[in-house]
Amino acid sequence: MSALARGARKSQRRFGGALQPYVLMNVYFRPGRGDLAHLERVSVDRSFHEILRSLGAIGAAGAALAVIRERVPDHEPEPAVFDTAVRLLTALNEGVPAEEALLCLQIRVLALLGFAPTLDRCVHCGKTPAQGRSASFDGVRGGIVCRACGGGRLVLSADALRRWAVVQATSEFPEEPWPDREREEIHDALAELDTSHATVSVRERTAAASGRWGRRIS
């Protein structure tokens, strides 16, 4: 939801400087006219200010929040997605690899909202791929596609498929970077899923979200 913080720019006193990016806070508000609530008071729960020390972390945190903002309808409680977002900010604040953290969040948000791709069998005929083999991936059809069913434009190696399954089943964020190829394959597959489910790319949304953030909060 969005809220108007009246007088926040003129006086730091009212909100105690709490209205910063990457702060988890308790917010007291009253409904306003239309979609915009009025912020009454806020209290900081946790600040993830270490994120601001790294451009990579800032980018990942911004893109993650944009993904969530885009995928979750307004005024719709999604406690599991919220929990995942807080875990991501905590992890980025502790300095985990930013790109991997963002990919993990994207994989988990898709799964939590019911958009997880099918990676254990062909989406078309249901045939399971041979153990330890790479598979063709088609984001438009929502998963891996066997050769007989036409295959896909992208490839997910056995390592990437295994990685994806582990990430989706757990809630930790990796402390070490992934091998480049794995990271690129997962990144490309997520990007294709993203464009096939929405008309705007994550990158465009990130830019839009940062603009919106500035406008609505000031």
In this structure, how many other beta carbons lie within 10 angstroms of the beta carbon of residue 188?
A: 17
Pick 128 or 171: Cβ nearer Zn ion:
128
Least distance (Å) between residue 67 CB and Zn ion: 29
Least distance (Å) between residue 28 CB and Zn ion: 54
Pick 125 or 165: Cβ nearer Zn ion:
125
Least distance (Å) between residue 181 CB and Zn ion: 25
Scanning residues 89 to 128, which ones bind Zn ion (CB under 5 A)? 122, 124-125, 127
Quick one: which H or E segment has residue 46?
Answer: strand 36-47
Pick 62 or 143: Cβ nearer Zn ion:
143
Pick 81 or 145: Cβ nearer Zn ion:
145
Least distance (Å) between residue 149 CB and Zn ion: 3
Q: Taken in order 53, 112, 72, 118, is the CA torsion positive or negative?
A: positive
Residue 213 makes CB contacts below 8 A (sequence gap 6+) with 21
- DSSP class of residue 214 equals H
Pick 105 or 146: Cβ nearer Zn ion:
146
1 near Zn ion (CB under 5 A): no
Separation of alpha carbons 176 and 57, rounded Å:
14
Pick 16 or 126: Cβ nearer Zn ion:
126
Q: For Zn ion, what does the binding mask look like between residues 124 and 163, x meaning CB under 5 A?
A: xx-x------------------x--x--------------
Least distance (Å) between residue 124 CB and Zn ion: 4
Residue closest to 117 by CA, chosen among 76, 79, 145: 145
**Number of shown-chain residues binding Zn ion (CB under 5 A):** 6
- Could you tell me if 162 and 133 are in contact, meaning their C-beta atoms sit under 8 angstroms apart? no
In this structure, how many other beta carbons lie within 10 angstroms of the beta carbon of residue 77?
A: 8
Name the token pair of 97: 């690899």
Least distance (Å) between residue 1 CB and Zn ion: 43
Which segments of 48-184 are extended strands (E)?
A: 135-138, 143-144, 154-156
Separation of alpha carbons 196 and 184, rounded Å:
18
Residues at the contact surface with Zn ion, assessed by CB under 5 A: 122, 124-125, 127, 146, 149
